[in-house]
Structure formats: structure tokens, C-alpha cells
Structure 1
């Protein structure tokens, strides 16, 4: 199962675009509301999540995804459940995806030390120990980071590639009419 955690104040495009792409790839995805199934993003769009965080089960987790946005990223980081899923994913060699400001959560936990990563400009100092790259989306080990809303499709495709194959992600990219 892929768990995409949404907290109040999240960036809606960064949260829902990867969900859409992963579902188009026919991968099992659940949106997880932090504190409630109903989450309102940073632009006033309210989403009814599939489940609430207290109902997510780490035992069936293959990947977690953390969208950015403010104060969404701060609300994710304050959540003990989100923190426990990040710890579980890291300890059990599961995939972690984080976009925009959300890689800062991983940086604060020391999970980016000696790894390549990216984030929204101005959050680089939060990626403690990481080598900051110029790319839009970076995969290093089982961690995928992305710069922000403008690369949400690319981020979703990289998450798909990690769980399927480059060929499957390329087919999906073509079907979405993405620029080459």
C-alpha cells in the first residue's frame, strides 16, 4: 500500500497529482488525513481522504508520500503518526517520497545525511547533511525528493517508476502527454 499523508495546509497539487498518477498506474494508494478524513489545503480546497491517520497500518506499507505546502508540512511533522510511519519506512527499507518543503521533515530526522536531495528553494538548509542538487526530482536509495508544485507530475512518475519500472513510467508519461 502507498500512503499519501495529507495535513491541513498541504499543497493540493503536490498531494493529489501523485495520487492520480499512481492510481493510473494501477498501484494501491490511500490518501491519509492527519487528524481527520477531511483536510483543507493551503488554497482552500477540501479533500475527503480515504482513511484517517489512526487507521493506517504500517505492516502493509510499501511507500509513504509527504506533500509540501505551508502550514501542511509543519502539520505533517508535528504528527506522531506521520513520524512513526517515516521511522518505519526508513527502518524497513520502504520507499519515502517528499516534495517541496516536506523533505525538511526527513532532513530534521537525519535521513538525508550523505544523500542527494532537492526541495523548495529556501528550505535547503533544513536538509541536514544532504548534497543539494539542481534537478527537479532526485532518487537516492529509497528516498525520492522533489522541488515543488511545478514538478508534481514528474514526481508522481518517479514514484511510479520506483514501484514498477522505467518502462511502465514512460508509457504513463506518454499517455499524460508530458513534454519530452
Structure 2
């Protein structure tokens, strides 16, 4: 399993890095992609990330999923035509789309959320373009996985693991990191 995490300056640090750390712990390969080609991408809380790949060299065929963290960067990503086309391509190929906080609005702007269940940061509902809001920390609808915000990072990452690697792997990982709430919410 290999996932690309799209980054622009202003990404939400905990959402991008916390989720990625848990996914990597599960054995999922996650590459950071610099959308605008900068050698270091700056999070909203001043964390700098050296990307693994630049968008100009990105081959979506090499990935099983696309991850969009929230933060101010999400509002820029949803205006980027290349990003929106990339989301459409992933969706058309039946690949995973994962987004947290304001990230689900990027999926909506790409036109892949019509009739899909989701959760996103409060106040973004009008931008979700026909999606169906579910009041939970994380929501899965087919291969689209969304979460409300930074407070849901553990549950979001474990939901991704559950969807991609199975219940047993997600439960094992939750136990290994002492995240007891995961088992209680299943």
C-alpha cells in the first residue's frame, strides 16, 4: 500500500504528520508531495517538511491512495486544476481518497463527493457540494475516508488502516499504540 500526501505551505501539521506517522507504523508507505515544487513545505505551525517528490514528477499510477490534510493549504489545493484532475483520476481508477479537516472540500471541488457520506471541519458544509454529512469523528464511504479535524488524527489513521489493510491490522496497531477508543467505537 502506497499513499501520496499532498502538501502546500499552510498544511495542518498534526493532521499531515500525525496521520502519516501512524500509517507508516502500520507498514503503509507514505510519500510527501510538494504541490508547488518547493524543497521544504511549511506547516501552519512552522514545521518544515522535506517532500519525497515534486508534483512535476508525480506518477499517480505508483500510488494506491491520495491523502489531503487540512489547514489553510486546503483552500489553495481546491483552486489548483492539476490537483483537482489528480483527484478525479484517482477516483476514476477506484483508488483511495483520504481527507481531514478542510481537506474534504478539496474532494468536493473535484466533483467526487456528490451523494457521498463525509465529515469535515465545522463550517465547511456549504462547500461540500451534495455530500451527506455524518456527525462522527471519521466517516468512510467506499474508498473515500474523511475526518473532522486534528483531534481525530488517531481515529482517522486507524480507519485508513482498517479500510486498506483490514480490521485485524487496525486492531493490532490500536493496541500497540494504546489507543483504546478505537476498539470501543467499532
TM over 0.5: yes
Q: Which residue of 1 aligns with 2:49?
A: 47
Question: What's 1:93 paired with?
Answer: 94
Question: Are residue 69 (structure 1) and residue 71 (structure 2) matched?
Answer: yes
> How far did residue 93 of structure 1 move?
0.3
Cα displacement (A) at 1:109: 2.7
What's 2:60 paired with? Answer: 58
1:133 equivalent in alignment to 2:139 = no
Secondary structure of 1:78 counterpart: coil
Moved over 6 A (4+): none
TM-score normalised to the size of structure 1?
A: 0.94
User: Does the CA contact (< 8 Å) of 1:54 and 1:81 recur in 2?
Assistant: no
| Normalised TM-score (structure 2) | 0.92
Aligned with 1:5: secondary structure?
strand
Secondary structure of the 2:74 match is: helix
What CA distance in whole angstroms lies between the structure 2 residues aligned with 1:149 and 1:31?
18
CA deviation string 1:95-140 (max 9, x = no partner)? 0001000101112233111111110000011111111111010000
Tell me, yes or no, if the aligned pair for 1:136 and 1:146 is still in contact at 8 Å.
yes
Question: 1:17-36 residue pairs with structure 2 within 5 A?
Answer: 17-35=18-36, 36=38
Q: Which runs of 5+ in 1 are unaligned?
A: none
Q: Could you tell me which residue of structure 1 aligns to residue 121 of structure 2?
A: 120
